[in-house]
Chains A and B, each alone.
Chain A
Amino acid sequence: DVKVTQSSRYLVKRTGEKVFLECVQDMDHENMFWYRQDPGLGLRLIYFSYDVKMKEKGDIPEGYSVSREKKERFSLILESASTNQTSMYLCASSPFGASGRFLDTQYFGPGTRLTVL
């Protein structure tokens, strides 16, 4: 089974702190993703990466950055946390599909519920 793990289930930080959320997958997937989940808004893509050291902005990248130094690890960084970044953060990974880079099924981690005070 594919396993995607996230470093924390619950995290409480203060405004202005630098926050690191870590995600690790064990299936050698090329693609990795960071989403935030908010009630009534579904999942919104923050950043994704299709290869080591490669990153692409998603739909809501403002206030976030990412790092992918190794294939299995994808980190989300909040440079200066703000209260509007209080949310559930979900990491996902997927392999390249049968047609090359076309997306196959995404596999999700358990999520990190971040509260910024």
Chain B
Amino acid sequence: AQSVAQPEDQVNVAEGNPLTVKCTYSVSGNPYLFWYVQYPNRGLQFLLKYITGDNLVKGSYGFEAEFNKSQTSFHLKKPSALVSDSALYFCAVRVRLMEYGNKLVFGAGTILRVKS
């Protein structure tokens, strides 16, 4: 089955330190990968996506993600965490459907807590 896995339920990091939120994928063919963030009592917001090209993708709010084909990973990173980055983060992969285009399959989510 085509899927993504987020191996950490929660990641804790001190403000100012670099952060990494992990994601691995399992798809046939070339993966289209996404990161979304959900702040408390809000819907999901798009952060970034990897379609093709440069393995380092830059997104909103200073986040970036590194695509690694050999490790089938797409980890989200930020050089210096902010308390306001505390939220729920979802990794997703595009799955091709037979006739109707595509759908997204989401991971279970990782809670990021940044402490001052």
Contacts and interface: CB of A to CB of B under 8 A. Distances in A.
Interface string A72-108: 0000000000000000001010001000111101111
A101 B101 contact: yes
Q: Is the interface of B mostly helix, strand, loop or mixed?
A: strand
A106 B46 contact: yes
Interface residues of B, number: 25
Interface of A: 4, 9, 31, 33, 35, 40-45, 48, 50, 56, 58, 90, 92, 96, 100-103, 105-111
B102 interface: yes
B44 A101 contact: no
A111 B43 contact: yes
Return the 7 tightest CB-CB contacts between A and B, nearest first: A101-B101, A103-B102, A108-B43, A43-B106, A108-B44, A42-B106, A42-B108
Contacts of B104: 45, 103, 106
Contacts, number: 63
Contacts of B41: 9, 110-111
B43 to A, nearest CB: 4
Interface of B: 9, 32, 34, 36, 41-46, 49, 90, 92, 94, 97, 100-109
Secondary structure dominating the interface of A: strand
